[in-house]
Structure 1
């Protein structure tokens, strides 16, 4: 059985510990967590728990290529960092393929190679420009 949440993984580890105890080979619950994680292909319980908490439910994963617009400029890049922020939002950091100039002035420029934002399920940042357009909009 493939688990999708930490709660399911913990329940599965508890069933494993109970079954081993009934078979005359009792193990600590913490050991059952580790065995469960290794059986699922993870190095240890902490790695498995972290993987189950990732924001992949929105179709995002580390290393994925993304396209969209940042401050109105078209951008492409790879997801460098992801972190769930509450039930409905994700903090995302994108390493851009090409730097983007975030200044509108002709007198100077400011190039960014990475951008960060908190996005919702629609792929748009909660931060907005003064005209109401999201800072980051993923396709």
Structure 2
């Protein structure tokens, strides 16, 4: 079963696709169609079944990929806490350490990191150029 964010994204894509084919539908109707595709009678039943559960990989020992300060990584999840629906604090053990300093004359490598990500897998915290500090591929 998809996450809530993935189901809503699927409904958005469906709505855009049908609109492009000159068959516009409401967002609510698109949500209902997605629920039916997954075998549920309506969106409310589907939403209740999904809940705001974390993605399947968000369990201790789970594997994730993403970017930390713009650098790609593969990692094992050491700990996960749900802060509120859709938002999770993760502690990650990176397979390979990443340099968290952008200066040429100085380096600081980290192998364990902590960060909070939202429903789309992105942290709220951003770098000075607007890039999320932590990005988890969902």
- C-alpha distance in 2 between matches for 1:89 and 1:103: 27
TM-score (norm 1): 0.58
Match of 1:121 among 109, 119, 122: 119
Runs of 4 or more off by more than 6 Å in structure 1?
A: none
Counterpart of 2:77 in structure 1 is: 79
Q: Give the gaps of 5 or more residues in structure 1.
A: 1-54
Bigger relative contact order, structure 1 or 2 (CA pairs below 8 A, ≥6 apart)? 2
TM-score (norm 2): 0.58
- How far has the Cα of 1:56 moved from its partner? 4.9
- C-alpha distance in 2 between matches for 1:114 and 1:102: 11
Alignment: residue pair count:
85
- How far has the Cα of 1:58 moved from its partner? 2.6
Q: Give the gaps of 5 or more residues in structure 2.
A: 1-51
State the superposition RMSD in angstroms.
1.4
Q: For residues 47-82 of structure 1, give each alpha carbon's deviation from its aligned partner in whole angstroms, at most 9, with x where no partner exists.
A: xxxxxxxx8533211111111110000111100110
